[in-house]
Structure 1
Amino acid sequence: MMRRHLMPSKHWQRLTQETKDGLREGLLGVIGNESDGSVRTALAMLIGLIARHEPWPQLLQYIHTLATSTELTQRQLSVYLLSVISSETVASMLPHLLTLLPVLDAALQDAALPPASIGHAIVAVARLSELIGSEHIEVFQSVVRKVVTVSQRLLPQDEQPVWEAIELLEVLVESEVPVLANDLPATVEFCIKLSVNTELGDGLRIKAITFLGLVTRYKKKYIVKHKLNASIVLALFSVLCEEAKDDNPLGILMADSPHNAASSSNDDEVLQTAAQALDTCARHLSPDKLLQPLMPAVKAALMSQDQNKVKGGYLALAMITDGCSERLRTKHLDVLLQCVCRGVTSDTQVVRDSALLALAQFADYLQPDISTYHQQLLPIIFTYLSQICTASKNGSPDPPGSSRLFYAVEVFCENMEQEDLLPHLQPLLQHVLAILQVEQTSQYMKKNAISVIGAVALSVKQHMAPYFEQVVALLKTHLLVESEDGDSTPLQLQSLETLSQMTRSLGGKHIEKYAGDITQLALSLLEKAVKKEDPELRKTCYRLFAALASVMRERLAPELPVVIDSMLASLKSTEGVVPLLKDDSNKAILQSLGELEFSDSEGEEGNEDNEEDLDVAGYSVENMFLEEKEDTCVALRELAESCGEGFIPYICRVCGDVYKLVNYPNEDVRQAALVTVTQFVVALAKSPTQQAQESFDHWVRVVVAKISELVRTDEYSVVTAGLEGYADLLTGAGGRILHYEGHLEAILACITDVINKKTKCQSGDTSDDGEDDDASLDEAEMDEMLVEYAGDVVVPLGKALGPQAFSQYFPRILELLGRRLRPNSSECVRSYVIGNLAECVDVLGSECPPFVINLLPLFVGAATDPSSGEVRSNAIFGLGLLGLHGGEAIIPELPGILIGLSELMTLEKEPRATDNICAALARIIGAQAKYLPVPTILPALLNMLPLREDFEENMTIFNTFSVLYQQREPTLLQNMHIVLRTAAFVYSTHQSDGQCQAAIEDLVRRVKADTPEQLATLLQNIEPEFRERLERAGNSTPPPPPPVAAAAAAAVAPVAQTTAAETVEPTATAAS
């Protein structure tokens, strides 16, 4: 009661000096004689509180006296007091740090102290580590060494001090002060031994395993430099290969399977922690540093007769897929899928489950390549689905591993290309619908089956239309069904989610007649969700409204007031906030060490009268409420995107509340909020109303500044959202973004910092010593991807600036991106750097010539990249754009470029690269024909048509043909039969977009008008399908004529090659 009363500093200050002195003196006199543990703890915490309020020299003197006493009990009391006081008022101890560290150093060497007292000493060291500066490093390193040494000594007696030691190491590994630098190898080896020691308690092993993941994230450079990566990876893999204690050891790992997560006990938390630590290693180590030690071990495990080792092999593959996706996709996919196909047909459940998890991860992260294996994978999946249906009909329990199967099916379908899934659509739906139609099928299996239908719809889109009514008839039985207490059921929620996905996928044409009914259903369920305070039903209704908006657009506006009111309440809601009491949050320490609480001193001066929070260490929020906030933000973003002007009045109402969530403690909520406020700014920029423009003027400043802050300080997903936000703002609002003071500089600084790896989230490696060694050059794929996100801001920035202004900043960008092209750069890095620079050439346009001398060697070298067709394709794309925009600077280089392209024609096997050769030749011919041997080049180009993969370049090809035809180019006229046949092959197919269609129609109309007999002859000698297409193109209606002024200007413009360069291609297609 006294401590609670004195917690606000103003209450302490009201006491007389005599009372203060008497209280301090009395406390020091009493605590030494107190034998009851709980009373002693309460006294110590009161002492710590008073020390927080004002200096107390006598207290430190008292601790020193106790520490040097010959009586063991007094020495125990000294470290106990330090552990409690440092928890209460660590900041006030900074002036005394150099005198306190020797006290703790001596205690750690005191062989007479029991393990509990050593634990107190380690806790005190951990608290004081928050105060370390460069002047304390040497002393602190000595103390930490003794912590590790004494922990090893005490391990056979008591694991708790070791647990505390690792807690200290976790604090230090995240610190920017390199305390562990010299001792990291020994520290890591210590934790590796703990991790693989099956005789230790699970809690200590989990702590050690977590540290291995943490140290890999924050000290990657030291880990690689000291060659510790192999030891860490193999230790984690050995844990994955241990015998599972639980029948369902993968439950927690199956994030989309809450049923199995719930049914999994904590018995296999060691295995799950090791899996998550391996995932961390894959994200932060380069593929070489991870895969070189791991893959031989995985191969041996998969060939083993020990099913636990086989299980470990598949789990390892599943966990590294995200972090090493590019390497696995391009180098190992065929072998990996053969292994997984064997695993998913295993008779052993745990092997089958882990293989299915690996398959689902492959489907998630190894696209698009994995889709080419659908012929092997889908029959296996269909067999499993058939077994589930049979089991349900027979009244048997759900087959083992069925939940993993549905997870794999769902992820696989979501990521398959539409044309790959369509041939399998009917048999897949037959199997899934059959499961739903069996009355005995468990609720959980039905939920999974309904979820698969939604995933299929997202992939096949309008091709789902023939099945819509049948599916909805099955969903109706669940959409309005409640639990006994009136709450929503998992089946109802999943049915709503699938209805949302089908609504979004089918689009307006197919869903229009059902839109009214779906809207009324959503409104009635939302009303029920609000009354029942059901966050899961609310968020699912929001997603349904967002799907409806994608179909109804502004026609949804009359329903928005009710929806927005509910969404605002969800944004502001504090439902699900659970206070964490200080004594509860450290229960394990309390039991072993006698501590009662850790105090959070921040903000007390500003909340002195808030008596209710004195013993609250913090707050947590239940997952369902976090997800509601995240989904509310996502739905608001989609409403802003879809409803146009109808949503503008609501942006002013909700933007402030969404923006507050950008600072929310949960990373997923922050990311969703940031993406949403960015879309709000884009929507405001497009609105002509005065209110929208005033709001835009305010929020664009706020959002640009906030993104600049978050890119440097936040986690990976929020940083990528911020960089995408910059790209979206520049694309959606254009040059207006850059009119505000400091915006251009802020965006350029973010791009620079990310490319130079100067942000907090880029491997978090605070150990940089300035050396440019292998450890710093060898990047994790996640770091490479982050740099790619930064590069994706460059082209929108260039377009917003315009060619002339962009040319002033391009040397800086060229230097930044060019530095990424090192001898050991990965294929992913080489591809995006070359592709990004190529797109910059297109943005520079007529400002490109000064940069030809720098860009040409990069493109020429990359065009012959021996290991990557994607790199070659992007480089060839760049060469074509240099030919188009290079002006006089490129003319002397044309012979060399043409020779190079000619050689590539005979050697290149990759379809996209050969298509880009065609496009490059078309661009060069269109811009520089008078400097080229067109009679030689054009036939070579025609022989390579039609394009095989990069169909966007058809626009380039036929625009060039149209221009050459208007110029009466003799070689083209001699080969018009080939040109027209190619046009017929492309016209009105998926290979031709709107602009390409227009170019073909223009060309065919001109031929029909100039030489009708030539066209008639060709039509008589081609296939009926092609004849019909050309006839349609020739009979098409020309576009309306341009305005008179533009037509007059065009009439007097000379028909020269420079005109061709300007008209061949208004915008180049994007690099791959």
Structure 2
Amino acid sequence: MSGELEQILLQLTQPDNAIIQQATAQLKLAFKDPAIIPALCAVMTGSQNPQIRQSAAVMLRMRVKKHWKKISLDHRESLKAVVLQAFQQETEHTVRHSLSQLSAVMVKHETPDRWPALFTLLNQSTKSNNPTDRQVGLLLLSKVVESNPEPFKPHYRQLLQLFGTVLQDLDNPTAMYYCILTLTAMTAYTGTEEMNLMRALIPRLIIALKHLIKADQGQASDAMEVFDELMESEVSIIVPHIAEIVHFCLEVSADTTLTDSLRVKALSCIAFLIRLKSKTVLKQKLLNPILQTVFPVLSAAPPPGEEDPEDEENGDEGDTDNESPKHFAAQVIDTMALHMPPEKLFQQLMPLTQVCLASENPYERKAGLMCMAVLAEGCADHIRTKLLSSMLQTVCQSLSDNNQVVRSAGLFALGQFSEHLQPEVSKYCAELMPLLLGYMSALNQAKIGHITKAFYALENFMENLGSEIEPYLPTLMETMLSALSNAENLKLKELAVSAIGAIANAAKEKLVPYFPPVIESLKGFLTDTRDEMRALQTQALDTLSVLARTIGKDVFSPLAAECVQLGLNLTNAIDDPDLRRCTYSLFSAVSTVSPDCLSPHLTAITTIMLLSLKSTEGVTAHLEEDKTFVLLDDDDDDDAEGDAILDDEGADTVDPDTAGFSVENAYIDEKEDTCDALGEIAFNTGAAFQPFLESSFQQVYELRDFPHEDVRRAAFGAMGQFCRAQHKVWQENPTEANHQGNSTSTSSELWLFEFLRHLMWCYYRVFQRELLNVSNETIVKTFILGISQACLKKIIIIKLPSIRPSAMQKLLGVVLPSFLEAVRGERERQVVMGVLEAMNAVLKACQGEALQSPGRLQEISQAIRDVLKKRTVCQDGGGDEADDDEQQAEYDAMLQEFAGEGIPLLASAVPADTFQPHLNELLPLIMNKAKSSCTVADRSFSVGTLGEILQSLVSVSGGRACAGKLSNRLLPVLVAGVRDSDSEVRNNSVFGLGALAQAAGPLVAQDYPMMLSLFSNLLSKEQDRRVIDNLCAALCRMIMSHMEGVPLEQVFPALLACLPLKEDMEENKTVYSCLAMLYSQNPAMVVSQIKPIVSASSHVLGTKDLDPETQNTLVMLLRDVAQRHSQKFEGAVRSLPAEQKMKLTAAVSQS
């Protein structure tokens, strides 16, 4: 049989398709014969043709991988002997490589202890005096260890000692290469006993890599993965050698004779080190050497006749896969900004930036601007408070540079500033908007790449303007609508559609006059299904979602049902991840406006969304060799034993010739946006979503360990939304009577519904795979839709059961522990921020319900304490470095702010006596951040959190006594804050003093004179209107809590003189509640000041500045004054301007 088999394999190498097809059929038939294993072995060892020997080895590997259990014991034992024999006698590297991969697959099934001959061969060959034998042995070792590292753990010490020798064999770079690959595979499984040995290898590893670079840059690039693996798995191994690793990577990064991929690998390694060990990098004074190397890379000009990828005029959106050294140099600076204290970074970075900006070389000027751009996110507070004006001036000057490369970089920087430096950057609206509009009008439309950057800057700036956009609205909309109607370039239309979304975010209801032509254009784009329209369609969906959220419920609601149907039609007709995720975002936007429109379609909507979460589309396995014989991979799938179903042994394994996996960004974005949308839909649709909650939760819950951090963050966010949704439904149907009345019939109906839902799921998958063969599409769609609507109709007419508290507790019992586990153990800081944000939202919604489980309050308090003490994994907690430095990266401070926001939420959820022991431990950690040496952001956070805690104590049992006990500790901090140089700190401190007065009442009466004197001094010189607004509210809180302690004759007129409030409109509730209380207890005083009261009221009545309850309180007060003191009231009204007089009279006279 071996002779025939060799002939068939030879035919498969022919360049004739007919011969290949015939040989394939013969080969499939041969694979039915049990003698195929010994026949392939004979070919693998006996053929004179290396290509045929390799083919036989590949086929054996495929057979072993899939059907090991079906191979007879005799054949297994024979195969183990033959593969080692073949490996020893083989001279061709490609065949040896395939043999090593075959061995690796066998090791998955036949552990090394049951294959002693393998160990003998490895031991002999890796220690051989013959360099070739050592090289071959290390090849085999790298493959088998990579395939199944765990069984080799007992031998790790031996192996590490061997590697110490091999890494010194500098004349055998290939041996060193396989040695490093093996070390990389072992790293994740290394125990503490091997750490010292591994640590000792690092200097030799660096020397070996330097020699490997000279021999083979491709192999060196692969081998450098060892640093990533060490940092990912056991960063403490490399901490003593960080300086050596950084200097090695800098040498590689700076060497322009090396390949881009190798230099990128080195720069990526530096960025990763900074992410994980920024404190060590600073402590070892590595910041300056890194910057001195990175800046020349960032400012290098491209080769003559070429452009940087982002500057190419190709009409594309930009190269998202830009893997150039220059791109990664910018990433290094971006990582520094995110993970280092800005004070330390800017001290060394800005001189280099200034030199670049002043250069005659346009690429150096571009580098300076790019550097400023990537600093904006991580160092936002530092730039906003200290450098914004000068940096904005530099960027604006760059927009008139004589070189387009520089102008493009300036636009990018302005877009980054607009995105990350709000709200301060919007204060420059009068200067920047005319500049941007003028720039847009002068653009050459042929240069679409440059137009894209101009739109990016304009969009990001407009989006946050709010009402400030109004004067520019006619010009902006005329420009955008003209582009939608007239532009032939689809990219320009796409940019205009995106810009309309940004305009809508700022203008909101003011966009209503332009809504009809915008919607008409969007509908046209969304119903044109040509492939070239895909990007425009996706953007149109995105903008439609923004309009749903911003234009106003009355305007958008009539379109809601049509939008839902449009989205379903698109997802049925077009298989595109970007289009799907934007459709899901549209569904969630519609749920905020008209949730009832979604209810009839929730079966279809949740089904496609859960398929998106389950899908593995976009996951690509990178193979080390071409699978010539992939057509035979399902060779026996029609066997009676059902080989198509994976055996348990192969279900979770990775093919040894798989070098790694990657997931396309579009599919990651799809999963992320699906989680976000599913959570929001669940919350907004309420009871209608209950039948889908369990299956949705299960699928989202599985994604909490997804490899990509954005998906993990979104999954945790959705889990929090599900808890809030469950609580909302429970609140709406809390009575036990509802449970009793419906429990029997409804539970059976819901069981039926779940059964039919799973049935529908199966049919959907059949629809995807098989029913597409039905030529009449209407029949297929009607069939699927008919079943789903029948199921839904049967259930929807039956009142859903109220949600039992136990069901909600069950959900909280899964979600909150998973949140706490992530806070402690998640490595990515952004994910932990998302988890804390989700947990805070759950605490705010569910309050005491979230803390019913024994020990839950303690666990959450402990998690908050751990973050504030920097003890979590994402803060490099428990590491080798003592962290007594008050300076930290802004995002590290932001993480602590998210944790601190949980404290007042806990305080409002339980009686004060229950929380006080935990509060006593947390308060010092918050108060420490109020010191004058701390950053403005820290001081603001500290006093703001103290104020929120005091505010929470107002409404809980025992809160007054608790606030009274805390007053002596908190007063000095808040008083110092009122005198702070920063307006935000002053504002939060004033709020905190008012909250203290409100919470403690008469218990702090002795402090009233000091507080009033402090406020009087502040009022005499304060320029910031928000601070003045909060001062008014603080005085009102003092009056309402302990009126006897306030000299109203002096305070009340001064208070009224500051009205109406100008910025903090939420405090109108406090102010007018105080007026109503004063009127009820001291009407003469209120009537004596009726003129300023009427004047202030005329500015807020009938506006959004008052909530309905406060509006009603004020109207009732004014009516009573008008009836009882008509002469004084009418005199006050007559003094008003005509428009305000009319508005106030109408409000008061309404019944």
The TM-score normalised by the length of structure 1 is 0.86
Give the deviation of 1:128 after TM superposition.
3.5
Q: Which amino acid aligns with 2:969?
A: N
CA distance in 2, matches of 1:9, 1:766: 47
For residue 199 of structure 2, the aligned residue among 135, 141, 152 is 141
Alignment of 1:445 with 2:492, yes or no, is yes
Q: Which amino acid aligns with 1:98?
A: R
Say whether the 8 Å CA contact 1:233–1:281 is kept in structure 2. Answer: no
Q: Please give the residue correspondences for 1:596-607 in structure 2 after superposition, counting only pairs within 5 Å.
A: 606-607=648-649
CA distance in 1, matches of 2:1114, 2:939: 35
CA distance in 2, matches of 1:1025, 1:980: 14
Give the deviation of 1:470 after TM superposition.
1.8
Q: Which amino acid aligns with 1:481?
A: D
Q: Please give the residue correspondences for 1:173-212 in structure 2 after superposition, counting only pairs within 5 Å.
A: 173-176=231-234, 178-212=236-270
| Other-structure match for 1:304 | 359
Q: Give the 3 Å change call, closer, same or farther, for CA 653–107 of structure 1 in structure 2.
A: closer
| Other-structure match for 2:787 | none
Say whether the 8 Å CA contact 1:248–1:260 is kept in structure 2. Answer: no
CA distance in 1, matches of 2:660, 2:321: 27
Alignment of 1:218 with 2:332, yes or no, is no
Q: Give the 3 Å change call, closer, same or farther, for CA 435–890 of structure 1 in structure 2.
A: same
Say whether the 8 Å CA contact 2:951–2:999 is kept in structure 1. Answer: yes
CA distance in 1, matches of 2:186, 2:615: 37
Alignment of 1:110 with 2:157, yes or no, is no
Q: Give the 3 Å change call, closer, same or farther, for CA 773–669 of structure 1 in structure 2.
A: closer
CA distance in 1, matches of 2:301, 2:326: 9
> CA-to-partner distance for each residue in 1:49-77, whole Å, 9 max, x for gaps?
56660326665565555455443333434
Choose 932-941 or 841-850, whichever is displaced more. 932-941
Count of matched residue positions in the alignment of Structure 1 and Structure 2: 995
Choose 886-895 or 363-372, whichever is displaced more. 886-895
Alignment of 1:172 with 2:230, yes or no, is yes
Say whether the 8 Å CA contact 1:662–1:673 is kept in structure 2. Answer: yes
| Other-structure match for 1:478 | 525
Q: Give the 3 Å change call, closer, same or farther, for CA 870–253 of structure 1 in structure 2.
A: farther
For residue 977 of structure 1, the aligned residue among 1066, 1076, 1091 is 1091
| Other-structure match for 2:709 | 667
CA distance in 2, matches of 1:240, 1:30: 51
CA distance in 2, matches of 1:716, 1:306: 38
Give the deviation of 1:679 after TM superposition.
1.8
CA distance in 2, matches of 1:928, 1:972: 17
For residue 326 of structure 2, the aligned residue among 260, 268, 271 is 271
Matched position secondary structure for 1:259? coil
Alignment of 1:722 with 2:841, yes or no, is no
Q: Please give the residue correspondences for 1:321-360 in structure 2 after superposition, counting only pairs within 5 Å.
A: 321-360=376-415
Alignment of 1:817 with 2:817, yes or no, is no
Say whether the 8 Å CA contact 1:1004–1:1030 is kept in structure 2. Answer: no
CA distance in 2, matches of 1:897, 1:382: 49
Choose 181-190 or 56-65, whichever is displaced more. 56-65
| Other-structure match for 2:812 | 700
Give the deviation of 1:883 after TM superposition.
1.7
Alignment of 1:498 with 2:543, yes or no, is yes
CA distance in 1, matches of 2:570, 2:1071: 57
Q: Give the 3 Å change call, closer, same or farther, for CA 234–926 of structure 1 in structure 2.
A: farther
> CA-to-partner distance for each residue in 1:201-251, whole Å, 9 max, x for gaps?
111110110011000011112112112123324433332211135866354
Q: Please give the residue correspondences for 1:989-1000 in structure 2 after superposition, counting only pairs within 5 Å.
A: 989-1000=1103-1114
Say whether the 8 Å CA contact 2:366–2:409 is kept in structure 1. Answer: yes
For residue 261 of structure 1, the aligned residue among 300, 318, 321 is 318
For residue 835 of structure 1, the aligned residue among 919, 938, 944 is 944
For residue 869 of structure 2, the aligned residue among 726, 748, 756 is 756
| Other-structure match for 1:407 | 456
CA distance in 2, matches of 1:647, 1:235: 56
Structure 2 gap ranges (5+): 1-58, 628-644, 734-799, 955-959
CA distance in 1, matches of 2:706, 2:130: 50
> CA-to-partner distance for each residue in 1:98-155, whole Å, 9 max, x for gaps?
22223222222234x2322222232233333334444334432332111212333554
Give the deviation of 1:513 after TM superposition.
4.1
> CA-to-partner distance for each residue in 1:447-505, whole Å, 9 max, x for gaps?
11111112211221111111111222333432221226xx8622233233323322332
For residue 90 of structure 1, the aligned residue among 128, 149, 155 is 149
CA distance in 2, matches of 1:716, 1:177: 17
> CA-to-partner distance for each residue in 1:401-426, whole Å, 9 max, x for gaps?
1111112222222222x211111111
> CA-to-partner distance for each residue in 1:529-569, whole Å, 9 max, x for gaps?
31443444443333333333333232443344443343344
CA distance in 2, matches of 1:623, 1:330: 35
Choose 50-59 or 123-132, whichever is displaced more. 50-59
| Other-structure match for 1:419 | 467
> CA-to-partner distance for each residue in 1:595-646, whole Å, 9 max, x for gaps?
xxxxxxxx99943479996755665444433333333333333323333333
| Other-structure match for 1:792 | 901
> CA-to-partner distance for each residue in 1:262-311, whole Å, 9 max, x for gaps?
5x885x62111222222222111111222221122212211221111110
Alignment of 1:712 with 2:855, yes or no, is no
Say whether the 8 Å CA contact 1:9–1:608 is kept in structure 2. Answer: no
Q: Please give the residue correspondences for 1:565-580 in structure 2 after superposition, counting only pairs within 5 Å.
A: 565-580=607-622
Alignment of 1:899 with 2:1013, yes or no, is yes
Q: Which amino acid aligns with 1:297?
A: L
Say whether the 8 Å CA contact 1:964–1:972 is kept in structure 2. Answer: yes
| Other-structure match for 2:585 | 543
Which is bigger in relative contact order (C-alpha 8 A, separation at least 6)? 1
Say whether the 8 Å CA contact 2:206–2:245 is kept in structure 1. Answer: yes
Q: Give the 3 Å change call, closer, same or farther, for CA 74–179 of structure 1 in structure 2.
A: same
CA distance in 2, matches of 1:186, 1:571: 43
Q: Give the 3 Å change call, closer, same or farther, for CA 1035–194 of structure 1 in structure 2.
A: same
> CA-to-partner distance for each residue in 1:503-522, whole Å, 9 max, x for gaps?
33222222344445x34xx4
CA distance in 1, matches of 2:1053, 2:146: 81
Q: What's the RMSD between the two structures over aligned residues? A: 3.3
| Other-structure match for 1:368 | 423
Give the deviation of 1:884 after TM superposition.
2.0
Alignment of 1:869 with 2:983, yes or no, is yes
Structure 1 gap ranges (5+): 586-602, 1038-1072
CA distance in 2, matches of 1:1029, 1:51: 85
Say whether the 8 Å CA contact 1:1019–1:1027 is kept in structure 2. Answer: yes
CA distance in 1, matches of 2:205, 2:802: 63
Say whether the 8 Å CA contact 1:229–1:289 is kept in structure 2. Answer: no
Say whether the 8 Å CA contact 2:202–2:241 is kept in structure 1. Answer: no
| Other-structure match for 1:1068 | none
Q: Give the 3 Å change call, closer, same or farther, for CA 834–51 of structure 1 in structure 2.
A: same
Q: Please give the residue correspondences for 1:497-536 in structure 2 after superposition, counting only pairs within 5 Å.
A: 497-515=542-560, 518-519=562-563, 522-524=564-566, 526-536=568-578
Q: Give the 3 Å change call, closer, same or farther, for CA 884–190 of structure 1 in structure 2.
A: same
Q: Which amino acid aligns with 2:97?
A: T
Q: Which amino acid aligns with 1:368?
A: P
Choose 342-351 or 638-647, whichever is displaced more. 638-647
| Other-structure match for 1:434 | 482
Q: Which amino acid aligns with 2:131?
A: L
Say whether the 8 Å CA contact 2:998–2:1037 is kept in structure 1. Answer: yes
Q: Which amino acid aligns with 1:91?
A: E
Q: Which amino acid aligns with 1:718?
A: V
